[in-house]
């Protein structure tokens, strides 16, 4: 449904929601390899989400063409935003990411004033202590932590914990993926 490319200056959130004009489709955007796609790819079926009979939605992150992280959600009776909810988590690379855990932020909208979208956050403890599992640092505005973990050029950036648990975002336990993809599985 979506293949987002790091560092191209176009909002992943706005692309997903269809509020920016679609880029011309590039055949190379079906690959998760780094450097083969210079835009985001958005499938127009996102606009008819409720008619698709979706059973699962998966976010996957890729670095150098290899999958480094994923979260799978129950997509039944969801819309194009509500599927990303802690109560819908089915499986994840992170063992501590479970439906019964409490999260400070867990949504596609994320922390919009800071341009942190598709955000799964455990705590805000002041910029050096912010900890979670994943976020997209979107280019819509500057980050909220000047000279810190979200104050980067060449956005969007896909920041994820390299542990099987949450990580402090300003630590060596996080990395940046090159590609973010969202896939669906339909009911048979």
Task: Give the residue-averaged pLDDT of 111-130.
Answer: 91
Task: Give the residue-averaged pLDDT of 63-69.
Answer: 96
Cis geometry, peptide bond prior to residue 156 (ω within 30 degrees of 0): yes
- At 180 the pLDDT is 97
DSSP string, 44-104: GGGGGGGGS-EEEEEEEEEETTEEEEEEEEE-TT--TTTTS-GGGEEEESSTT--TTS--S
Tokens of 183: 């896939």
pLDDT at 34 over 80: no
Task: Give the residue-averaged pLDDT of 78-96.
Answer: 97
Tokens of 87: 């109560």
pLDDT band at 87 (very low <50, low <70, confident <90, very high): very high
- What is the per-residue pLDDT across 46-62, written as a single tens digit (0 to 9) for each? 999 999 999 999 999 99
Nearest to 124 by CA among 101, 99, 150: 150
- At 96 the pLDDT is 96
Cα torsion through 15, 21, 26, 32, rounded to 10:
-10
Nearest to 59 by CA among 170, 186, 184: 184
Task: Return the minimum-mean-pLDDT range out of 12-16, 28-32, 119-123, 154-158.
Answer: 28-32
- At 150 the pLDDT is 87
pLDDT at 10 over 80: yes
- What is the per-residue pLDDT across 136-184, written as a single tens digit (0 to 9) for each? 999 977 778 888 888 888 999 999 999 999 999 999 999 999 999 999 9
To which residue do tokens 């403890």 refer? Answer: 125
- At 148 the pLDDT is 86
Residues 161, 52: Cα–Cα separation, whole Å: 32
Cα radius of gyration rounded to whole Å, the chain: 15
- At 25 the pLDDT is 80
pLDDT at 32 over 90: no
pLDDT at 188 over 90: no
pLDDT at 26 over 90: no
Nearest to 184 by CA among 64, 63, 80, 94: 80
For the chain, the structural domain boundaries read 2-186
């Amino acid at each position: 449904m979506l293949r987002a490319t790091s560092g191209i200056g176009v909002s992943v959130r706005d692309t997903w929601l269809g509020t920016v004009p679609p880029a011309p489709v590039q055949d190379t955007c079906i690959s998760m390899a780094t450097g083969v796609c210079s835009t985001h790819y958005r499938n127009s079926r996102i606009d008819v989400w409720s008619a698709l009979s979706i059973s699962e939605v998966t976010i996957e992150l890729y670095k150098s063409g290899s999958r480094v992280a994923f979260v799978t959600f129950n997509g039944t009776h969801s819309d194009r935003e509500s599927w990303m909810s802690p109560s819908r988590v089915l499986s994840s690379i992170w063992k501590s990411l479970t439906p019964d855990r409490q999260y400070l932020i867990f949504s596609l909208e994320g922390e919009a004033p800071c341009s942190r979208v598709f955000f799964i956050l455990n705590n805000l403890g002041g910029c050096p202590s912010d900890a979670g599992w994943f976020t997209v640092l979107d280019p819509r505005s500057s980050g909220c932590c000047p000279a810190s973990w979200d104050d980067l050029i060449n956005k969007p950036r896909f920041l994820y914990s390299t542990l099987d648990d949450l990580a402090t975002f300003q630590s060596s336990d996080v990395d940046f993926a090159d590609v973010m993809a969202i896939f669906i599985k339909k009911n048979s």
